[in-house]
Amino acid sequence: MRPLVSIIRHAEENLVKCTLEPLRHRPELEFIEASGEATLDGTGMLLLEVGAPPITLADAGRRLILLDGSWKQVAELRARVTGQPIGRSLPPILSSYPRRNREGLDPVEGLASVEALYFALRLQGHDDPTLLAHYYWRDEFLEKIRVALSELR
């Protein structure tokens, strides 16, 4: 099976707290450790980025690139993506994950990685709630998505 998503994970990501770790066994997800010389040619793939045009159903079938790390690590992770990816963002929605950032650097649009993964795929027409099966705040987040999608219509 060709992966739907390539996840570039920062080498220092705490796997105990990582919301994507329970999904490591899923064949539609490719995990790439951001260490050494590891890169990904993102040409033609969708790269989730704050400030990019929103992802839509027109993006269905395109592989997604998700950067998995803290907001301080985004630039470092982004440098691992080569070629010409297509930047896409998510509609405004607040995370259900209780974030604790002493520096206050997290953008309002910031989501837990599993939230961003699920929401992006759903917007592409791939609605798979099992991606959230191990996510403690699943029900709260699904309600936020329901409200956000009703406001988009």
pLDDT at 18: 81
- Asked whether the predicted pLDDT for residue 70 surpasses 80, the reply is no
pLDDT of residue 35: 83
- The 10s digit of each residue's pLDDT in 18-33 is 888 899 999 999 999 8
Q: Tens of pLDDT along 87-97? A: 999 988 877 76
**pLDDT given for residue 16 in this prediction:** 63
Q: Is the pLDDT of residue 153 over 80?
A: no
- Which tens digit of pLDDT belongs to each residue from 107-147? 555 788 999 999 999 999 999 999 999 999 899 989 988 88
Q: Is 80 helix (H, G, I), strand (E, B) or coil?
A: coil
User: Among 18, 42, 34, 41, which Cα is nearest to 117's?
Assistant: 18
